Structure 1
Amino acid sequence: MSNFLPYGRQIIGDDDIAAVVDVLRSDYLTTGPAVERFEADVCAYTGATHAVAVANGTAALHAAMHALGIGRGDEVIVTPMTFAASANCILYQGGTPVFADVDSHTLLLDPAAVEAAITPRTKAIIAVDYAGQPCDWDALRGIADKHKLALVADGCHALGGAYKGRKVGTLADITVFSFHPVKHITTGEGGMVVADDANLARAMRAFRGHGITTTASQREKSGAWFYEMTDLGYNYRITDFQCALGSSQLKKLDQWIEKRNALAQSYDAALAGTAIRPLTKHAHVLHAYHLYVVRTPDRDNTFKRLREAGIGANVHYIPVHLHPYYQNLGYKKGSCPVAEAAYTEILTLPLWPGMVTEDVTRVVAEL
């Protein structure tokens, strides 16, 4: 369908292509200087001290769980209103995801539900900045400090967002980003973990390269061949040409966040007074608007009719604990009633920086 309007899409410019081509013509295609440059660029943008670029956002989550030492018998509290990877990373390490319910207005992790879910086995909290709106990080930090828990921000929706003037990337012990094509900037596939703790960063950097403490390019530069594997890691490396694309895209992030907010404001105004209700946005945040999510009383029919009209509406998400895999693990329907009720109503409308106001008008007219 030629006039199909997707819910999200990458924007690639000639400058991005040139940046990638430059690396393709260079000496290093992986573990080279473009990776370090992208890490430094993300640190400079977010204010984080250390960054580790990896193959995708899921690898970033896995690296975070590894660095925190999550293992068998450990519990990690996580939201059900997210992509499955936010919880799967706990299972990868042998830990147990514990789902805490969300706030009904924002669908962000509810701090009161987090507090109620803590047991002597709890080791960490993973909070997701759902749709691009930062969580209640003051409350979550208070809970984490009180119970001596690690605090992880799944910021895969929220690069470029801010909470009370502080950039996403500086609000938790570890923050995870994704650079999938529908995200704010893209490397094709790709992810990054940022942290202020040098030991956590060191552990995650080794984890992405089989648990080996040096890379091939580092050994070549030093004239050494010797290396040792000190931990069980994975091949979660990202290429230099992907990172060159990421650095190029990052230069445009602020203008794209501004455009996403303008489009969201157009939706808000057009939907005011109708039965279609946008999620609540707090005044103290800079919303990154990865997704524009509304609640509608007839979600499935609305989805069907929008798709028939060439509008790429979507649903984010089936609560993780309702997936068959998690049901087979013993997770029960009814354990997160707010998220489960929201799931029957939520609909994601198209929103990405390449859209124009007329696209919003078209979507609203079909609604």
Structure 2
Amino acid sequence: MKVLSLTARDAFNDNTIKVPFFSQDITNEDKKAVISALASPLLTDGPILRKFENDFRVFTGSKYTVGVSNATAALHLSLKALGIGKNDEVLIPDMTFVATASAVLLTGATPVLVDVNDDDLNISVKSIENSLTSKTKAVIPVHFAGRACNMKKIMEIARKNNLRVIEDCAHAIGAKYDGKHVGTFGDAGCFSFYPTKNITTIEGGMVITKSKTIADHIRTARNHGITKSLTQRYSHGRPWDYDVTEPGYNYRLDEIRAALGISQLKRINILNQMRSKACEYYNSKLKTVKGIKIPISDKADAYHLYVIRIKNEYGVKRDQLFEKLLKNGIRTSVHYKPLHEFTVFKKRAKIYDKLDNSKQAYKEIISLPLYTRISRDIQDKVIAAIAKQ
């Protein structure tokens, strides 16, 4: 059995760290929901998951919802449901988590790395147009940091070029575009409930779609391709009497995590408001610091990350600021190391356009601590450490 090294274990128990990068918002109600779910006769693929799916459907205003094991599974299954595979190309932003690209590779298709906007780090519409080929079959806009992409322009390009659109909404639960929840514009929207996200099921994800065909395909594929749910198999007849029409995956979301999701989703609006206020406070204090570029924001954002940029006028490079903050007991991170920097994507992704904005942003961006119950005192420590030269 592999033992976690002391350095890895202590990374989150370091007494020198006074300001964590993130902190989960778990209440007594959440704990009660989890404990209650443990008494369920079906610990997976049961009625609690169905309720979570329905609650999420209502919250997002979508037509169909399917809970899965994580957002990577959501992206993978959505691509497969749309028939994306070998010899196809899928446009994705260079500035995103590796899962977006990995999901494309898992289908046999090729990710094409596209530049991002300089202001909000969302996928560039111009770079999408510059990256189209006869093999382009889909585009995955990522709503970076909880701010919606330009879905009007992206959908126009998609319709003109017969492209499928899968929205990566991992950062964006609660985010709106033109009054509609993100994820409802394309063929499918994929959400994450990882511990750092605005709500968590520890691990977990969700697909929303307006297509019954896509929803049915994902619902079957998440469960090994079996044509009946666990409830259907045991409610009547012989439980082994089912069919498998094509290979599937073990991408289920269990009852325990679904129960936590139901509980967390009840207060998503409050949680997002708390994140919004924390971002507004950062903005008010950091906007006057020379060389610090604060993020643009909108009331429709989900405020998942607070990403500033370190310009030359600041006098210290991004990595130097990272080290300085760490010495002051403040954890920060970078979202993200661009995909073109990774060995696997250097070998297996394609690039047809310049990635100037992505490359420049990577030199400058740093994500500050942001979570629902971050105090003004904690934020002041972060702000003071940045402002002090």
TM beyond 0.5 = yes
Matches within 5 A, 1:136-285: 136-225=150-239, 226-274=241-289, 275-281=291-297, 283=298
What runs of 5+ residues in structure 2 fail to find an aligned partner?
1-13, 312-316
Partner of 2:357: 338
Cα distance in 2, alignment partners of residues 353 and 27 from structure 1: 34
Identity %: 38
Partner of 1:318: 337
Matches within 5 A, 1:27-38: 27-38=41-52
Q: 2:102 aligns with which of 65, 78, 88?
A: 88
User: Displacement, 1:21?
Assistant: 0.8
- The DSSP-based 3-state class of the residue aligned with 2:238 is coil
Cα distance in 2, alignment partners of residues 90 and 162 from structure 1: 26
User: Displacement, 1:171?
Assistant: 2.4
Cα distance in 2, alignment partners of residues 6 and 69 from structure 1: 42
With over 3 angstroms needed to count, the CA separation of the structure-2 counterparts of 1:334 and 1:203, relative to structure 1, is closer
Partner of 2:64: 50
Q: 2:123 aligns with which of 109, 120, 131?
A: 109
Q: 2:380 aligns with which of 344, 349, 361?
A: 361
User: Displacement, 1:172?
Assistant: 1.9
Q: Is the 8 A contact 1:75 1:95 kept in 2?
A: yes
Partner of 2:314: none
User: Displacement, 1:332?
Assistant: 6.8
Q: Is the 8 A contact 2:21 2:369 kept in 1?
A: yes
Cα distance in 2, alignment partners of residues 147 and 279 from structure 1: 32
What amino acid sits opposite 2:105 in the alignment?
A: L
Partner of 2:6: none
Deviation per CA, 1:164-219: give whole Å up to 9, x if none.
Answer: 21112322220000000000111110111110100000111111111112122221
For the aligned residue pairs, the C-alpha RMSD in angstroms reads 1.5
Q: Is the 8 A contact 2:131 2:352 kept in 1?
A: no
User: Displacement, 1:321?
Assistant: 1.8
TM-score of the superposition, structure 2-length normalised?
A: 0.91
Cα distance in 2, alignment partners of residues 293 and 341 from structure 1: 14
What runs of 5+ residues in structure 1 fail to find an aligned partner?
none
Cα distance in 2, alignment partners of residues 269 and 304 from structure 1: 24
Q: Is the 8 A contact 1:133 1:288 kept in 2?
A: yes
- The DSSP-based 3-state class of the residue aligned with 1:344 is helix
User: Displacement, 1:4?
Assistant: 2.7
- The DSSP-based 3-state class of the residue aligned with 1:99 is strand
Please tell me whether residue 288 in structure 1 is matched to residue 307 in structure 2: no
Cα distance in 2, alignment partners of residues 22 and 241 from structure 1: 9
**Higher alpha-carbon deviation: 168-177 or 101-110:** 168-177
Q: Is the 8 A contact 2:110 2:350 kept in 1?
A: no
What amino acid sits opposite 1:261 in the alignment?
A: S
Cα distance in 1, alignment partners of residues 337 and 197 from structure 2: 19
User: Displacement, 1:333?
Assistant: 11
What amino acid sits opposite 1:92 in the alignment?
A: L
Cα distance in 2, alignment partners of residues 149 and 36 from structure 1: 31
